[in-house]
A and B are shown apart, each in its own frame.
Chain A
Amino acid sequence: MIIYGVALLSACLILGMLIGEVLGVALGVQANVGGVGIAMLFLVLSSNSDKFKALVKGASGTGIQFWSAMYIPIVVAMAARQNVIAAFEGGMLAVVAGVAAVIVSFALVPVISKIGNSDTSSQESQ
């Protein structure tokens, strides 16, 4: 049943969001701390586990795959509802700060990926 997969996906999201919200309160932060990431972990764990086989195999799995495939259209809709005007009304300071932050962060991707890589390769050699 397709709804079983959709229900599992929903349960993962709600559980993750609840934990993220509790983490936020516990840390004294006005934000959800990693709710979506935690929800993704739940989905990865349950889709790799035998116990949840009935909820992720066959037709049930297509219920999750559908939403996974709707991701790009949803992102396009998300882009179409951004406050693009406000982004440019902030003036040059906002543009310079935003652009500079992105350039420096882009440049760090290969550097930090390398840290991880040397770690895993040393583990493999052990």
Chain B
Amino acid sequence: MEILETVFVRNSLVVAFAVVGLTIWISYFLADKLTKGRIHGSAIAIALGLLAAYFGGKATGGSTGVADITLLGGIGLMGGGMMRDFAIVATAFGVKLSELKKAGLAGVVSIFAGVIVSFVVGAVVAVLYGYTDPVAVTTIGAGAVTYIVGPVTGSALGADSDIIALSVAAGLIKSILVMIGTPLVAKTIGLNNPQSAMVFGGLMGTTSGVAAGLAATDPKLVPYGAMTATFYTGVGCLLGPSILFFIVNAIL
């Protein structure tokens, strides 16, 4: 056991490659045999990943899912921000400039619409739950934007830590739901071309959610969605503690 642990820990990233590869093989097998290809293999793999993260978190009490399990520490590096961004940028290889230009305006509109709509929805829910303090309502609304905008806004406005935790939770729920829900609603919302993918990325904004959701829908759409999504958090951090807070403050 000790030898096993030593080898696994010393080669953590390589272990992660093997484990993820096995997970994807199982997922594609299940997608093929059980759902006859109706559900994309990568959608099942992502769902398995989230499920594993739940049990990993439960078992260790840590905050990074299975990566807190000593033997699987490499998952943390493989699925971390650095590798994610590196691979996302690589998906832009082969993207046509003309497609980007075509969806440029709609993409920009979608980023602002996405931030404002998610904020308003989150803020209204907070008010419905009885919050009247403008700082709390703004922080929870910002959490519905993304789990990064929530704490950035909350700490800028001096919100209590339990409100900030709530805003992070709202953002995490959003991110997870986008990962799982996107392939299910893709057809209904017309998510099948570069242009709607850019609008989708701008509206959803959660980079992890958009990245995984589009991967499970159609990997060809990933670069378009990711491109707009990466501007979303920045715009959210810009608007949250400023204009959006002033508006909430004026209303409440």
Q: Which A residues contact B (CB, under 8 angstroms)?
A: 9-10, 12-13, 16-17, 20, 23-24, 27, 29-37, 39-41, 43-45, 47-48, 56, 61, 64-68, 70-91, 93-102, 104-110, 112-113, 115-117, 119-120
Tell me whether A74 and B144 are in contact in the complex, defined as CB-CB below 8 angstroms, given that A36-B226, A97-B170 are known contacts.
no
Contacting residues, chain B, for A116 (C-beta < 8 A): 102-103, 105-107, 109, 195, 199
Shortest Cβ distance from residue A110 to the other chain B in the assembled complex, whole angstroms: 5
Docked pose: A9 CA to B12 CA in angstroms: 24
Shortest Cβ distance from residue A118 to the other chain B in the assembled complex, whole angstroms: 10
Docked pose: A56 CA to B217 CA in angstroms: 27
Contacting residues, chain B, for A64 (C-beta < 8 A): 90, 93
Tell me whether A20 and B105 are in contact in the complex, defined as CB-CB below 8 angstroms, given that A82-B65, A93-B126 are known contacts.
no
Contacting residues, chain A, for B85 (C-beta < 8 A): 13, 17, 35-36, 39
Shortest Cβ distance from residue B28 to the other chain A in the assembled complex, whole angstroms: 11
Shortest Cβ distance from residue A57 to the other chain B in the assembled complex, whole angstroms: 12
Shortest Cβ distance from residue A49 to the other chain B in the assembled complex, whole angstroms: 10
Query: Is the Cβ of B179 less than 8 Å from the Cβ of A79?
Result: yes
Docked pose: A94 CA to B228 CA in angstroms: 25
Docked pose: A93 CA to B207 CA in angstroms: 23
Query: Is the Cβ of B172 less than 8 Å from the Cβ of A102?
Result: no
Docked pose: A68 CA to B189 CA in angstroms: 26
Query: Is the Cβ of B238 less than 8 Å from the Cβ of A72?
Result: no
Query: Is the Cβ of B166 less than 8 Å from the Cβ of A94?
Result: yes
**Nearest residue, chain A, Cβ from B81:** A78
Number of interface residues of B (CB under 8 A): 114
Query: Is the Cβ of A33 less than 8 Å from the Cβ of B181?
Result: no
Query: Is the Cβ of A80 less than 8 Å from the Cβ of B118?
Result: no
Which residues between 95 and 137 of chain B lie within 8 Å of chain A, taking CB atoms?
Answer: 95-97, 100, 102-103, 105-107, 109-110, 113-114, 117-118, 121-122, 125-126, 129
Docked pose: A111 CA to B90 CA in angstroms: 30
Shortest Cβ distance from residue B148 to the other chain A in the assembled complex, whole angstroms: 7
Tell me whether A32 and B234 are in contact in the complex, defined as CB-CB below 8 angstroms, given that A87-B172, A98-B144 are known contacts.
yes
Contact partner of A75 (CB less than 8 A), chosen from B106, B125, B215, is B215
Docked pose: A99 CA to B20 CA in angstroms: 28
Q: Which B residues contact A (CB, under 8 angstroms)?
A: 16-17, 20-21, 23-24, 42, 45-50, 52-54, 56-58, 63-67, 75-76, 78-80, 83-97, 100, 102-103, 105-107, 109-110, 113-114, 117-118, 121-122, 125-126, 129, 140, 143-145, 148-149, 152, 156, 165-166, 168-179, 181, 185, 189-191, 195-196, 199-200, 202-204, 207-208, 211-212, 215, 219, 222-223, 226-231, 233-235, 237-238
Query: Is the Cβ of A78 less than 8 Å from the Cβ of B181?
Result: no
Query: Is the Cβ of A81 less than 8 Å from the Cβ of B75?
Result: yes
Shortest Cβ distance from residue B92 to the other chain A in the assembled complex, whole angstroms: 4
Query: Is the Cβ of B95 less than 8 Å from the Cβ of A104?
Result: no
Docked pose: A9 CA to B179 CA in angstroms: 26
Shortest Cβ distance from residue B83 to the other chain A in the assembled complex, whole angstroms: 5
Shortest Cβ distance from residue B34 to the other chain A in the assembled complex, whole angstroms: 18
Contacting residues, chain B, for A104 (C-beta < 8 A): 117-118, 121
Query: Is the Cβ of A74 less than 8 Å from the Cβ of B78?
Result: yes
Contacting residues, chain A, for B144 (C-beta < 8 A): 97-98, 100-101
**Nearest residue, chain A, Cβ from B73:** A81
Shortest Cβ distance from residue B68 to the other chain A in the assembled complex, whole angstroms: 8
Query: Is the Cβ of A110 less than 8 Å from the Cβ of B53?
Result: no
- Residue of B23, B100, B189 ringed by the most chain A CB atoms within 10 A: B189
